[in-house]
Amino acid sequence: MIFYYSGCGNSKFIAKSIAEALNDKLVFIPEAQREGKFEYNLAENETLGFVYPIYSWRPPHLVEEFVNSLKINGKPSYVWTAVTCGDNVGETEKIFRKELEAIGLSLDAAFCFKMPNTYVNMVGMSVDKPEIANEKIAKAKEKLPKVIDLIKQHAKYSDMIKGGLPRFKSNVIGSGFYKWASDKPFFSTDDCISCGMCVKVCPMQNITMDNGRPHWNGHCNTCDACYHHCPKHAIQYGKTTRGKGQYFFKD
């Protein structure tokens, strides 16, 4: 069983590719959370995987909340995680290991895929240039078969890219992130054509249409899927996204 979360498709691509290769089933975390599905029965020798993007050098809040509520019946033969990040992950592995231990699971392997950056809500943060984005995707595709082999072998493994000052980034910046991350600055410009794409792609089902314009309802993950998928580039986040590009994973 593979639990996954993805805003702009990078982590979905990794989760789907691994699931297909292992003939494993996928559980989309936001959907499971909405449906209150926190208890799962494992078959004998079944493995358990967790795939998600890095948000502020740690697992996204909803992934942490989901894992805190998760009840797994049966002992997995192997527990792995694969994360996607734009650059680096800080102490995510350590944090996630502890969160799994708290529900009786022991992490065997942690894999990391560098993928195009999706975070644009801060001054100085933008999407990668197309050639860098394409290079990251090509390298991730090259790495996938190796990771799949390691999972098949139940290998003990860790290749997380921690980056500089990992403790500070994960525990100080990362822990404070959701105190100020909010959907209040999102708005649509007059280029909006009321197509509803933003409503469709929001993994949190946080967007509704109000008089033909998107309205954000306060339970946002700041994944930026709405911003990146808008066909008219009509969604902005205050002034910080002005002049920035869009990206979402297209296979």
Ligand X SMILES: Cc1cc2nc3c(=O)[nH]c(=O)nc-3n(C[C@H](O)[C@H](O)[C@H](O)COP(=O)(O)O)c2cc1C
Binding site for ligand X (CB under 6 A): 6-12, 53-57, 84-88, 115-119, 222-224, 249
What is the number of other CB atoms lying within 10 angstroms of the CB of residue 2? 22
Shortest distance, position 239 Cβ to ligand X, whole Å: 18
Shortest distance, position 71 Cβ to ligand X, whole Å: 25
Shortest distance, position 119 Cβ to ligand X, whole Å: 3
- Cα separation, 10 vs 249, in Å, equals 6
Shortest distance, position 221 Cβ to ligand X, whole Å: 7
Burial (CB count <10 Å: 0-12, 13-18, 19+), residue 150: middle
Shortest distance, position 73 Cβ to ligand X, whole Å: 28
User: Which is nearer to ligand X, 54 or 207 (by Cβ)?
Assistant: 54
Count how many Cα atoms sit within 13 Å of the Cα of residue 201 in the half-sphere of its side chain.
22
CA 133, 137, 142, 147 torsion-angle sign: positive
Residue closest to 53 by CA, chosen among 169, 201, 236, 222: 222
User: Which is nearer to ligand X, 28 or 38 (by Cβ)?
Assistant: 28
- Cα separation, 111 vs 140, in Å, equals 11
Q: Are 46 and 78 in contact (CB under 8 A)?
A: no
User: Which is nearer to ligand X, 47 or 92 (by Cβ)?
Assistant: 92
Shortest distance, position 115 Cβ to ligand X, whole Å: 4
Shortest distance, position 182 Cβ to ligand X, whole Å: 12
User: Which is nearer to ligand X, 17 or 222 (by Cβ)?
Assistant: 222
Tokens for 31? 């959907």
User: Which is nearer to ligand X, 72 or 120 (by Cβ)?
Assistant: 120
User: Which is nearer to ligand X, 87 or 210 (by Cβ)?
Assistant: 87
Q: What is the CA radius of gyration of the chain?
A: 18
Q: What per-residue string of b and e applies to 31-55 under the rule 16 or more CB within 10 Å gives b?
A: ebbeeeeeebeeeeebbbbbbbbbb
Q: Please report, as a single letter, which amino acid is at residue 106.
A: S
Q: Please report, as a single letter, which amino acid is at residue 147.
A: V
User: Which is nearer to ligand X, 67 or 201 (by Cβ)?
Assistant: 201
